[in-house]
Amino acid sequence: MATMIDVANRANVSIATVSRVLNGMKNVDPEMARRVQEAVAELQYEPNYTARNLRCRESRTLIILTPNITNLYYSNIIAGIAHGAQEHGYSYFLFNTEGKRELEEQILDRLEKRQADGAILLGAELGANWIQKYADQYPIVQCSEFDPSYNIPHVSIDNYQAARDAVEYLIGKGHTRIGTVSSNNRFFSSVERMRGFRDALTDAGLTVNEEYIRYAAWDNFKASSKAAYSLLKGQDHPTALFCISDILALGAIASAKELGLRVPEDISVIGFDDVEYTTMFHPYVTTVVQPCYEIGYHALDLVCNMIRRKDVPKTTVLQHHLVFRESVAVLPTDTE
C-alpha cells in the first residue's frame, strides 16, 4: 500500500504538496499538481483513513443502535440509513443492543474517542434521559422512537394522528364497538397510538370500552393471537380491531379464524407499518403505511448535517397514509 511519502518521492515534491493537491487546495502550481496526480495514479495511492482520522479527529463513521435487526420494521429503516450513508460517504458500525442501556452507553462512548462522528438511535424508550448527555455533546438523532421532553432531533411519523386516522376510518365504516391490540411498553409511539385510539373514539361520541383493550408485545405474533383470542371469544366482542402493528394484526386475524370468525365480515382488523407479509394471505390487511425506508434515509441526512454543524429541526414528521385492502368491512347498519 503506497503512502503519501511514496507519492511525494515519485512526483518529486514534498508530502505537504501531495496533501494539498489531494485536498483540492489552490495555491499549487498546475504542473506540480499534474505530477502528483500522475504519481497517485501510477502507485494506485489511496489515503489511509486511520491516519487521517487520528490527525483530524474525524472518522466519517457513524454508530447505529438497533434493538433487533431481524425485525422487518427496523431492518427497513436501516436499509434507508445504509443507502444514505453510501451517498454521503459514511460508514457505520451496526449494533444489535436489544435495548440494553449499559451496552448502549459503552458503545456511545466511542463518540468521545472519535471512533464515530455521530449516532442514530432506533427504538429508544421514554424516560431514557441518559441519552441527553451524549446528545448534548455529539450529533445524535433518534429514529421513529423518542421522548418529546428531551431536546434531541428525531424523525418519525405523527403516531397520534395516524392512529386517529385508522380508528376514524373504522368509525366511518359504521363500527362503534372498536377494540385495540396495543403494546404496554415505554415507546412513545405506543402511547401516542393509544391516545389517538381513545381520542378518535370519544371525539366521535363513542365511549372507550376498557374491556376491549388488550396488550401484546408489538413484534410478538403468538402473544397477539392469544390476546386477541381472549378478546374475541366473548359474546359481544368488538366488530373492529385497531392493532398497533401488522404482526399484531396478523395474530388477531389468526385467532379470529381459529374462533370461526370471518375477517372482515365478522370482525374487521386494521394494522400498522405495512410490512411485507400483510399481502401474503387473504385477507390482505388494511393498514397504516409507515415510510420506514425514508425515515432512515432522512435520519441519516440529519446526522450528517449536524456533523457539519448545520442547524437541524428538532422534529421532523414524515407522512403516513392508509392503504385499503381486505381486512375491513362496512358494518351493516340494520344489524346494529
Partner DNA sequence: TATATTCGAGTAAACGATTACTGAACCAAA
Partner DNA sequence: TTTGGTTCAGTAATCGTTTACTCGAATATA
- Residues contributing to the site for DNA (CB under 7 A): 1, 3-5, 12-17, 19-20, 22-23, 26-29, 32, 45, 47-48, 51-52, 54-57
Contacting residue, 14, 37, 43, 93, with a copy of itself by CB under 8 A:
93
Give one DSSP letter per residue of 141-207, joined into a string: EEES---TTS---EEEE-HHHHHHHHHHHHHHTT--SEEEEE--SS-HHHHHHHHHHHHHHHHTTPP
- Output the smallest distance, CB 52 to a copy of itself, in A: 10
Q: H or E segment at 36?
A: helix 30-43
Interface with a copy of itself includes 69 (CB under 8 A)? yes
- Residue closer to DNA, measured from CB, 40 or 303: 40
C-alpha 221, offset from chain centre:
20
- Output the smallest distance, CB 105 to a copy of itself, in A: 13
Interface with a copy of itself includes 137 (CB under 8 A)? no
Please choose, from the candidates 178, 152, 158, the residue with its C-alpha nearest in 3D space to the C-alpha of residue 237.
178
Pairwise CA distance, residues 130 & 147, whole Å: 12
Contacting residue, 95, 134, 188, 272, with a copy of itself by CB under 8 A:
95
Contacting residue, 5, 54, 317, 330, with a copy of itself by CB under 8 A:
54
- Output the smallest distance, CB 5 to DNA, in A: 6
- Kindly state the DSSP code that residue 234 receives in the 8-state scheme: S
Interface with a copy of itself includes 3 (CB under 8 A)? no
Give one DSSP letter per residue of 101-123, joined into a string: HHHHHHHHHHHHTTS-SEEEEES
Interface with a copy of itself includes 327 (CB under 8 A)? no
Interface with a copy of itself includes 254 (CB under 8 A)? yes
Interface with a copy of itself includes 89 (CB under 8 A)? no
- Output the smallest distance, CB 304 to DNA, in A: 19
Interface with a copy of itself includes 257 (CB under 8 A)? yes
* 96 contact, one of a copy of itself, DNA, none, CB 5-8 Å limit per kind: a copy of itself
Contact characters 210-249, a copy of itself, x per CB under 8 A: -----------x----------------------------
Please choose, from the candidates 40, 53, 50, the residue with its C-alpha nearest in 3D space to the C-alpha of residue 6.
40
C-beta of residue 266 within 8 angstroms of C-beta of residue 236: no
Pairwise CA distance, residues 142 & 298, whole Å: 11
Give Cβ neighbours of residue 56 (< 8 Å, ≥ 6 apart).
none
- Residue closer to DNA, measured from CB, 34 or 222: 34
Write down the residue that cell numbers 448534548 correspond to. 136
C-beta of residue 214 within 8 angstroms of C-beta of residue 228: yes
Pairwise CA distance, residues 224 & 44, whole Å: 57
Options 86-94, 122-130, 140-148, 180-188: segment touching a copy of itself (CB under 8 A)? 86-94
* 92 contact, one of a copy of itself, DNA, none, CB 5-8 Å limit per kind: a copy of itself
Residues engaged in binding a copy of itself (CB under 8 A): 1, 46-51, 53-54, 59, 61, 68-70, 72, 75-76, 78-79, 82-83, 86, 91-96, 109, 112-115, 221, 250-251, 254, 257, 276-277, 279-282
